[in-house]
Every structure is written in C-alpha cells, then in structure tokens.
Amino acid sequence: MTDKLEFTGERFTPECVREIRYEHVHRYAFAQSLVAGRRVLDAACGEGYGSALLAGTAAAVTGVDRSSGSIEHARRRYPLDNLDFQVADCRDLPLPADSFDCIVSFETLEHMEDHEGLLREFRRVLRPDGFLLLSSPDKAVYTEKLQNRNEFHVRELYRNELENLLQRHFPVFRLWGQKLLFQSALWSLHGAPGVCCLQEVDGKVRASETLTQEPVYFIALCGAEEAALPDVGHGLSLFDDAVESVYQHYYHEIRKNMAAGEVLADKEREIAGLRAELEARTAKPRLAAWWQRLLGGR
C-alpha cells in the first residue's frame, strides 16, 4: 500500500471522503476532457492525485508545488510515464515561456496574496493559444454567508474582483459555479441533450437552463482569445462516487436522528410515568397527615 500524505487541512488528500472529496475531485474530473492530448501544467498540485487524473487523458502533465514533501510523495505514489513532478513556486516557475497548452490551478489563488504575479507567470509559461482553468471561492458566500474560516486562505475574492483580475491578464473567460447540492434528479435514459432546472419559489415552480443557487466556488476558463477556449460541450456537470457516499451519509444521519427521537420519546414517557407514580406515593402520606391534623383538632 502506497504511503499516505498527512491531511493538515492545507492540501486535499484522496483519503478524504464525502463532501470535500466531491468538491475537489469534481474539478479535475471536469478538466479531464478539456486537457485531452495537451501538455498540461498542474500548478500547486499538492499530493498529486489531480495531476494523475489529468495524465489519464493529457499528452503530458507537469505537477508543481512549493512543498518538497508533497512532491516527493507524489513521485512515489503516481509513477506514470507522462507525469512529472517538480518543486517550484507558482509565481516563479523554473520553466521556459510558452511551455504548456493549458494550466490547471485549483485551490491556489486564495492561498496567496500576490494574485497579479501569479497570473503574470501563468500567462508567461502558457502558449498564446493555450487556456487556464482555475478555481476561487466566492468570499461573499464561502466566508460571509456560510461562515467558513479557513486559516490557510490568505486572500479571497468577491466575484467582481475575480472577474477584474482575470480580465487584466486573460481578455476572454467563462465562469462556472460550484456548490454541493442535494436535488431530485430526473434524467433521460436515452441521452437526450439539454439542461432543464426546476426550482420552487414561494409555491411556484420556475424553469431555467442553469442552476440558480449561489455558487460557493467559481471555476474560471480563461484564454487570450475566444478560439483558445475549448468547447466544454455542456452547461451542467454532476459528480458523485459509485457508493453515493454523501447521499448515504445524509440518510444515515437522518435515520440516526429518527432513532434518537424515538428513544427520547420513550424516555419522556417513562419519566412522565415515574413522576405520576411518585406523586401518587407522596400524596398518601400528605393525605394521612391532613386527616390526623383534622381529627386532632376536635
């Protein structure tokens, strides 16, 4: 069994389960088809699991991270012919200009202060007709609305700040939103195209071609020109695992809470019975004492 990298909260590891796994792995799964046959840089690759996923479709993948421990681990765990790992700071890459067809950088931007320097360096090593795919939490939702406090996040951005940053370095970009959801899914078993999302608001149902919930994370696909952006081919991407771990955990918690409710109800009934019995027992001496006082007063 290959050794595991300790999970500290700074970097995702494949041993993480349920919600955090869905969020992190989905991004790389989304990128797989976009990087097919291309030379890819996985910037801030961490443990290396995402680089290995990309290597399943890419011509070649270079994963870089400033943590030498993470890179050493990645080299041992993912020894693939088309995958190379290097220790490097994403703001100062030891790589020639125009080296890559695409750059994937998830969970990176918010971990550093110098966003401008990061995107300048990405633009330098990216071919003129290449594209960048990155993620960024929405500060308005992730931190302010959901009250997350991530000690490893140095600088988070609101949507308009992210868009302004991207515009300064990549004139063309498209945004996707990401959020873990529980939904009722109804889909064609014959592969019919198109997305129809139905949402109930104030007792009325409205239809949309996209989800209307506030995203927690943004996924940005960026390029120097329109032709550089690959065709994603769909407007909705869903991800889960074969055992539906998040769904199963949800129902486990529901069943546990229901069972706890039954136990609580039984205990409340038992307590009520004991109270009634206690009151009955204490009532007899009180009644006897009252009669004694009454008779003694004659």
pLDDT per residue over 150-191, tens digit each? Answer: 899 999 999 999 999 999 999 999 999 999 887 777 777 777
Q: Considering its fold, how many domains does the chain have in total?
A: 2
Contact 23, 150 (CB under 8 A): no
Q: Are residues 235 and 247 in the same domain?
A: no
Residues 289 and 214 in one domain: no
Q: Tell me, yes or no, whether 70 and 36 share the same domain.
A: yes
Q: Does 282 have pLDDT greater than 90?
A: no
Q: Is the same domain home to 46 and 168?
A: yes
Q: Are 250 and 284 found together in one domain?
A: yes
Q: Which pLDDT score is estimated for 233?
A: 85
Which tens digits make up the pLDDT trace of 51-95?
A: 999 999 999 999 999 999 999 999 999 999 999 999 999 999 999
Amino acid present at 60:
A
Same domain for 256 and 170: no
Nearest to 142 by CA among 133, 132, 155: 155
Could you list the residue range(s) of the whole structural domain that residue 248 is in? 240-298
Same domain, 125 and 273: no
Q: What CA–CA distances, in Å, run from 114 to 92, 100, 120, 127, 157?
A: 12, 22, 10, 22, 12
Residue 29 sits in the same domain as residue 95: yes
Can you give the C-alpha Rg of the chain in angstroms? Answer: 29
Across 114-125, average pLDDT: 97
Do 208 and 68 have their domain in common? yes
Helices (H), ranges, the chain: 19-32, 49-55, 68-77, 115-125, 159-169, 245-296
* 156 and 232 housed in the same domain: yes
Residue 8 pLDDT: 67
* Within-domain flag for 219: yes
- Per-residue pLDDT at 256: 81
pLDDT at 298 over 60: no
Q: Which residue has the higher pLDDT, 126 or 212?
A: 126
Cβ neighbours, 10 Å, residue 58: 25
Same domain, 164 and 223: yes
User: Is the pLDDT score of 273 beyond 90?
Assistant: no
pLDDT for 140 equals 96
Question: Domain holding 73: CATH number?
Answer: 3.40.50.150
Looking at the structure, tell me whether residues 202 and 256 fall in a common domain: no
Residue 40, pLDDT > 50, answer yes
Give domain status of residue 144, yes or no.
yes
Residue 1 predicted with pLDDT over 50: no
Asked if the structure places residue 216 within a domain, the reply is: yes
Structure tokens at 118: 């990061």
* Entry pTM: 0.79
Burial of 151 (0-12, 13-18, 19+ CB in 10 A): exposed
